[in-house]
Amino acid sequence: MSDQDSYAVQGKAIDESFQNDEKPFDAKDLEPFGNEETAEVKYRTMKWWHCGMLMIAENVSVGILSLPSAVATLGMVPAAIMILFISALSWYTGYAIGQFKLRHPAIHSMGDAGELLMGRFGRELLGIGQLLLLIFLMASNILMFNILMNALTNHGTCTLVFGVVGLIICFLGALPRTMDKVYWMSVASFLSVLIATIITMITVGVESKGWVPNEVTTTVSFREGFLAVTNIIFAYLAHVAYFGFMSETEDPRTFNKSLAMLQIVDTVLYLVSALIIYHYVGPDVKSPAISSLSPLMRKIAWGMAIPTTILSGVVLGHVACKYIYVRMFRGSDNMHNRSFLSIGSWVAICLGVWVISWVVAESIPVFNDLLSLISALFGSWFSFGLPAIFWLHMNQGQYFKNWKKICLTIINVGILAIACAICGLGLWVSGVAIHEDSGTASWSCANTT
């Protein structure tokens, strides 16, 4: 029986259990890592708070540093409304992904979900898309590491050298094969970004030289405004890893707790930091925001941000490498042992994925441009469009069953339309921005601060 057929049989049984209000279908033997009772290497070991912390580490890192500049572009009120709206949208679409995973426990990645929806073509389309999104996100971490090291060393050497150093560190951090080991890195990552953000907020207040113009609303071109919106969207792009995270939890049904933990923490942190930093710095706030501090405090804040710059990339890299690894060894004993083949394959996959992300980082060295491209091309679908499609798939034939279904159908079709708009318009504005900044020293030793 093919994977697609097994997904279909499994999905039918689970759908029937949901319709009969029974306990969700128990399909451990059909899950990505199979039966682990006697396995040498076990993957399904995380509690819900482990999963939540991993999601926070994946999400709350590089993106938060671009939000004050988005506030400067949009104005305080529109930016705050947009942050809250995208947060609510992300919470709902994350919930839809969780429900889809519970219906189909065999799903480990967006590629698996694509096969369930569109057969082999869908598997390859969404699988490659997921891998590309993760690689671009990893590239943004390397780019951030370049900015950080240039700031700390006063451009002490060629930026390409810093990129290679970041590549090596992230590669070494990604070597553990199981998520429970990466969890401890995620704790350090969150504490790092939290401390760096608090230092930045306090410093901009202390260094403020008096009255700074704060725009409640602004008048900007559509392209500039939409570019700022895509940077906010970037701060909510964790969805691509949800299937993988759920697959390594002891009980995937606790995912809603993890999701709530993520959404509450990141939304509060985004709102407070973006508005406070903009309030004290004003329209001239830079992206990343730490670059707006005085030279000494900039170095201190960047120093505190070193762990999150590296470790959030490690979490992303782990998800990317795990996708390839599961594709290679699914159903094989190699996934659960410590043989030369299994360990060697994991190391080779990690090295290859991180080298590709480094190439992307050096090719698009403008921070905001890279964020907007990622948001438009990938985030629009993995965070918004596909979860809406998942809901429509789970509720086939019931779209107009009652008033609640009618409302949810309208909401999900609307979310799908929003995803299409973000993708199309976002590609346009980010493409223009990258073209205009094309002279910004790709593959150069130039200072990126």
Give dist(CA 314, CA 357) in Å, integer: 12
Q: Is the pLDDT of residue 416 over 80?
A: yes
pTM of the model: 0.84
- CB-hemisphere CA count at 13 Å for 424? 6
Q: Are 365 and 336 in contact (CB under 8 A)?
A: no
Evaluate if residue 30 carries a pLDDT over 70.
no
Contact indicator for 316, 130 with CB cutoff of 8 Å:
no
Span 41-436: which CATH code?
A: 1.20.1740.10
Q: pLDDT tens digits for 333-345?
A: 778 788 899 999 9
Element (H, E) at 70: helix 67-74
The CA distances from residue 83 to 86, 192, 214, 231, 236, in Å, are 5, 22, 18, 10, 9
| pLDDT at res. 21 | 42
Average pLDDT value for the chain: 84
Mean pLDDT of the 317-324 span: 92
Q: What angle do CA 238, 241, 247 make, to 5 degrees?
A: 140
Q: 5-13 long-range contacts, Cβ below 8 Å, gap at least 24?
A: 6/30, 6/106, 7/104, 7/106, 7/107, 7/112, 7/115, 7/116, 8/116, 10/104, 10/105, 10/106, 11/103, 11/104, 11/116
- The owner of tokens 């070494």 is 172
Q: Supply the pLDDT for residue 22.
A: 40
Cα-based angle 374, 375, 377 (whole degrees, multiple of 5): 65
Amino acid found at 367: F
Give residue 367's pLDDT band: very low, low, confident or very high (50, 70, 90).
low
Burial of 19 (0-12, 13-18, 19+ CB in 10 A): exposed
Residue 80: which of 234, 236, 222, 274 has the closest Cα?
274
Tell whether the model's pLDDT for residue 15 goes beyond 50: no
What is the rounded distance in angstroms from the CA atom of residue 257 to the CA atom of residue 249? 12
Comparing CA positions, the residue from 193, 440, 274, 312 lying closest to residue 449 is 440
Q: Is the pLDDT of residue 269 over 90?
A: yes
> In angstroms, rounded to a whole number, what is the distance separating the alpha carbons of residues 194 and 2?
46
Phi/psi region, residue 286 (left: phi>0; alpha: psi -120 to 50; beta: rest), is: beta
CB of 236 within 8 A of CB of 86?
yes
Tally of CA atoms within 13 A in the half-sphere of 138 that contains its CB:
33
Per-residue tokens: 319: 């998800």
The stretch 14-41 carries a mean pLDDT of 54
Question: In this predicted structure, what is the pLDDT of residue 93?
Answer: 96
- State the average pLDDT over residues 407-418: 96
Q: Convert the pLDDT of each residue in 157-207 to its tens digit.
A: 888 899 899 999 999 988 888 887 788 888 888 999 999 999 999 999 998
- Return the structure tokens found at 295: 């030279």
pLDDT of residue 275 exceeding 90: yes
**Which band of pLDDT confidence, cut at 50, 70 and 90, is reported for residue 62?**
low
pLDDT bracket for residue 38 (50, 70, 90): low
What pLDDT, on a 0 to 100 scale, did the predictor assign at position 27?
A: 40
